[in-house]
Amino acid sequence: MIKKKIGISIVVLMLFITTNTVFAATNYPNVTAKSAIVMDAATGKVIYSKAAEERRYPASTTKMMSLIVALEHGNLDDVITVSQNASSTEGSSLWLTQGEQMTMTDLLYGIMLISGNDATVAVAEHVSGSVKKFAELMTEKAHAIGAKDTNFTNSSGLPDINHYTTAHDLARIAAYGYKNPLFTQIVSTEHKILPPTVKGDIRDLYNENKMLWFYEGGNGVKTGYTDAAGRCLVSGAKRDNIQLIAVVLDSETMWDDSKTLLDFAFSQLKPKTLFTQGDILKTTRIANGKSELLKLVANTSIILPVSENDKDEFSTIIDAPTILEAPITKGQKLGVARVFYNNTEVAVVDLVAEESIERKSFFGTLVASAWNIVNFFLKNFA
């Protein structure tokens, strides 16, 4: 019995030493956050995670989805009249007053730069008629983009037992947001002056996300805090065409944690050019053209982040006809090349004609047909 205990202790000790040796060798991040993740936005590749699937309160990081839904369902030029309900919303504020009018665009900047809870309610009521219906749209969108362990009950992130998400889901939401140039523009804005309204003065807004200033390549995304959620931060940074997203939830040192995660991820990834603009990706036959073959080329370059251990996880599918009918115009889109990472599409490039090909004249077509018939007889009956 004693021998068994000693044996088990030795095994456990050896496992402990081995595990820590591996972590030390690879310099994995050491963060204070209860949940954390750092992910490549283009591929969804997770470079590091810690309890990233545990449900937690998101606080104001919720507002990323509020922005996405507003951009997709609202009109940026709409003038919104602030309700009494919106103006009396608790928590961080854009200092809106009942009856004040402001454009959707200005309200969205107020939401993302200084976390105006009142602005989220004004937008939600304008887009959906109520915060409840707007939150339903938010949840529906979250699930549609793969953030399936997320549920929103409000537009601001104020605590509610049924308002929750995970670090991984927040990273997915941010990654989706970055596909929209307006989302990227708003969350990466350091300073914005909102014009005065009839009921309000100029609002001089400075983004609460310090990562925009002190982290190289910082370009988003949202801070958050409540007693229930702790200090939260979703941060984005882009270098060498690599867009990263780091999430820390309930963190003691959210700025340092985020910097640590981003530094680690950038050290693990290198940009790799999969296609360069003009690369020939397919040669196809041309029917009734003055040339019989046409080269299809990539109309843009594709650069994706690759690490040492996932080089073989990328694949490409060329989706283009094997035969085309003349005439063909140079630069004409004739197909696409799709890039997959772990069987998930992560990039697509248009395939265009490298040159123009004119259609044969009727006489030329007739001669070619006659020649083909002659060749057939020569090969089979001569």
Active-site residue identified among 92, 115, 188, 258: 115
CA–CA distance, 10 with 298 (Å, rounded to integer)? 58
The answer to whether 67 and 115 are in contact (CB under 8 A) is no
Q: What are phi and psi of 118, to 5 degrees?
A: -60, -35
222 labeled part of a ligand binding site = yes
CA–CA distance, 87 with 260 (Å, rounded to integer)? 38
Contacts of 9 (CB under 8 A, 6+ apart): none
Which residues face 238 on adjacent strands? Answer: 243
Task: Give me the amino acid identity at 311.
Answer: K
Say how many C-beta atoms besides its own lie within 10 A of residue 117's C-beta: 24
Residue 63 annotated in active site: yes
The answer to whether 67 and 186 are in contact (CB under 8 A) is yes
Report residue 53 as tokens. 């699937």
Element (DSSP H or E) covering residue 99: none
CA–CA distance, 58 with 229 (Å, rounded to integer)? 6
The answer to whether 264 and 28 are in contact (CB under 8 A) is yes
Active-site residue identified among 49, 60, 92, 235: 60
Residue 179 annotated in active site: no
Instruction: Please write down the long-range contacts of 158-162, taking CB distance under 8 Å and 24 or more positions apart.
Output: 158/90, 158/91, 158/117, 158/226, 159/57, 159/226, 159/227, 159/228, 159/229
Active-site residue identified among 50, 63, 141, 360: 63
Radius of gyration of the chain (CA): 28
Which residues face 222 on adjacent strands? Answer: 234
Element (DSSP H or E) covering residue 236: strand 230-239
Please name the residue that has the structure tokens 């080269």: 295
Query: Which of these, 69, 92, 46, lies nearest to 244 by C-alpha position?
Result: 46
Pick out the residues of the known binding site.
222
Pick out the residues of the known binding site for substrate.
222
Catalytic residues: 60, 63, 115
